[in-house]
Amino acid sequence: MKQLTVGSTSGIARVNGIDIHYQVTDYTDPWKKPQTVLLHHGFARNQRFWYQWVPLLCRDYRVVTFDSRGMGDTTCPKDYEFNAEDLVGDVIGLLDELGIDRVHWGSEASGGIIGVATALAHPQRVASITTCNTPFKIPKGFLGMFVNEEVRAHGLGYWAKKTLKSRVDVDKVPPGWCDWTTAEFDRADVETVICVHELMKKVDIWEQLPQLKTPLLILVGDGSTIATHDDMQAMSQRIPGSKLVVFKGYGQGVGFMIPERCVDEMKRFISALPAT
């Protein structure tokens, strides 16, 4: 078990046969016992995408970021067939390695689907979930934009650039962000991402939503074509006690476009929860 201290610590945890690269950032008052926020990135991304969120959270919470299986610098066995159970087990194994019993789950896109799956399987480990534009099922139209052979031929950066305007409002992110994110996608292993995509094609958490007892905050842009406003409203209505916040004038990727507003909503949501 790792010894966590105030400051920022990077490490590698051997969990479920893979090496998970993680970072723990904690600038809370050193005499306090902080709550922990775990941030789970979305499809084909890595923990570096949380660079805007960590500074906004780490004064009030211990913040854990990591590269999920096969993404960023985290390893994955060759010819591994992705499944949701292992992705959940990876997170629980990482928390066990860090000696963290319970977290507030922050996520964007598919990272929220893993959050729901984790809370359903291990409700005692997840105190709350905050999702940014997380659909309960990926729309067929967007899935059709990912063509395996095209990605194999041209790389993930090509796909990222091609689909960029459906994933973020390009006029609402910092200058240079679009080129940076495309380069980050290009770092991912093509075959691994294809395997993850095959898993995401099968995911549909609609039937499981009423079983979720973990407090859920749903953040969505009213113009998203992936996690649409209507779908997110239906998702919220299906989960008793959940909260839906709609950002008007924004599409997909609100976590990247307006991180300050997203984090403020998350903090208010966590602060309003009963003490555990």
Q: What is the pLDDT of residues 193-224, one digit of tens each?
A: 999 999 998 888 899 999 999 999 999 999 99
Cβ neighbours of residue 81 under 8 Å, at least 6 residues apart? 195
Q: Where are the domains of the chain?
A: 7-271
CATH superfamily of 7-271: Alpha/Beta hydrolase fold, catalytic domain (3.40.50.1820)
Per-residue DSSP letter, 80: -
Question: How is residue 13 written in tokens?
Answer: 């945890």
pLDDT tops 70 at residue 276: no
Distant-in-sequence contacts of 257-260, Cβ < 8 A, 24+ apart: 257/168, 257/169, 257/172, 257/173, 257/221, 258/172, 259/52, 259/53, 259/56, 260/56
Mean pLDDT of 144-167: 94
Question: How is residue 252 written in tokens?
Answer: 């997909």
Spatial CA neighbour of 239 closest among 217, 262, 255:
217
Q: What is the pLDDT at residue 193?
A: 96
Spatial CA neighbour of 181 closest among 200, 197, 199, 165:
165
CA distance 257 to 116: 24
249 phi/psi in degrees, rounded to 5:
90, 10
Give the model confidence (pLDDT) of 18-62 as tens digits: 999 999 999 999 999 999 999 999 999 999 999 999 999 999 999
Percent of the residues in the chain that have a pLDDT greater than 90, as a whole number: 88
